[in-house]
A and B are shown apart, each in its own frame.
Chain A
């Protein structure tokens, strides 16, 4: 027993969504934050100037629209990742979150933020190899990608799990890959930046649940 009891399963053809206590809480959190991001106006950051008085940094409307859109995509992808019962779908949601994360900060016209975003992008692209590679290996070894099916198979998937974990670590930018990602958080626009952080944390917990289940 890992996820605290199942409420129900919703099959959409190949894609199966499971509502357990764990996944429902994760889903509700992701959706709540997505709504909050839509409603929140970004803060004005106070920056010290070399000469003269401190300056309030405001986010222009066109930049705000781009970043808000990417943050909402990120929130919806995270909510989907909380419910899916397919390893490949989860990997797709993870990469979509990675792309959305870069999108959230790529509209910021500051060199250090764009550099950090570029480096995180490279890590994220490289991390897709172990992520999808592990999915392919699991499929080749067991003949299924369904988490519900893999739970009953009892196959030794240690190597594939380590690869999958490494892929997740790169994609979500946790230690030891966090350096570039933490620099991205220096960009103004707290609700959008917060969505990057929230999606990473929820996806890490979900990956731990998947790796313990299969």
Chain B
């Protein structure tokens, strides 16, 4: 890897973090406006993240180390890898999904390794909500059946010839969009970080470790939005994708602002219902196309 490439990766990481943070700030602002509050400034998420770097670090006496420290670092590793493999290398979609499921491990690991009952509940809920991954695998399979490849650059090229996949695979696009909704803050599916269990798996991570998790969350939001736009709209350029990212954030904010947090079993059952619909769509395409 030469210096230019290294410089590009640094730029890409900073860009993804800044855009992800600002979009999460925008999300919070729109939600506040819907609820007739002025809300914090759009840069609040960014300030919030930086704030944690000046806070004192302490470790709970109940924590299981080094797992407790490793989990926030893993979050950063996972999403930086996903960013490079997706945006820079435009590699296999299956690898990105494989990295995405590691986010579940981060949630579970953060929750359980702290020894806190709230973290533990967040971790157990993260296992319950693994049902959200089934539609994702069905989406990947459906995309493969239509485009005959899982390499992101091939999928984008396919759409340049045949038009956006969102028109051909509306059910898959909907399932992926629900995934985006479930990953956004204050989502109706956000049972893992529900306020009924304080902050779920994040409860016992503070200071620098919380800062790392916040950076990971911002990059994750950027990568997931980029993936949706690249796979279903065929736009892989990070600058051209930006207006669509703002639009999708706007729609997600309205949904999250108007819907209450679902009970864990309702959230899981709704996601399983979506999974069944996408699996039926997949089966239909396998048999009849």
Any chain A CB within 8 A of the CB of B61?
yes
Contacts of A190 in B (CB 8 A): 64, 67, 109, 112-113, 115, 123
Greatest chain B CB density within 10 A among A186, A190, A194 is at: A190
Query: Does A29 belong to the interface (CB within 8 Å)?
Result: yes
Residues of A near B123 (CB, < 8 A) are: 185, 190
Interface residues of B in 90-127 (CB under 8 A from A): 91-92, 94-95, 97-99, 101-102, 104-105, 108-109, 112-117, 120, 123-124, 127
Supposing A174-B134, A175-B131 touch, asked if A44 and B61 sit within 8 A by C-beta, the answer is: yes
Q: Whole-angstrom distance between the alpha carbons of A42 and B113 in the complex?
A: 8
Q: Does B281 contact A (CB under 8 A)?
A: no
Main secondary structure of the interface of A (DSSP, over half): helix
The answer to whether A46 and B117 have CB atoms under 8 Å apart is yes
Query: In the bound complex, what is the Cα–Cα distance between A29 and B104 (angstroms)?
Result: 14
A-B contact number at CB 8 A: 147
A156 to B: closest C-beta gap in Å = 10
Cβ of B8 under 8 Å from chain A: no
Instruction: Please determine whether B104 and A56 come into contact, CB atoms closer than 8 angstroms.
Output: no
Contacting residues, chain B, for A45 (C-beta < 8 A): 62, 115, 117, 120
- Known A-B contacts A42-B64, A178-B131; the reply to A212 vs B150 at CB < 8 A is yes
- List 18 A-B pairs, Cβ < 8 Å: A4-B91, A22-B92, A36-B67, A40-B64, A41-B65, A44-B115, A174-B130, A178-B130, A186-B120, A190-B64, A194-B105, A194-B113, A201-B102, A205-B101, A208-B137, A212-B141, A212-B144, A212-B150
Question: Which B residues are within 8 Å of any A CB, using their own CB?
Answer: 61-68, 70, 81, 85, 91-92, 94-95, 97-99, 101-102, 104-105, 108-109, 112-117, 120, 123-124, 127-128, 130-131, 133-134, 137, 140-141, 144, 149-151, 154, 268, 272, 275, 286-287
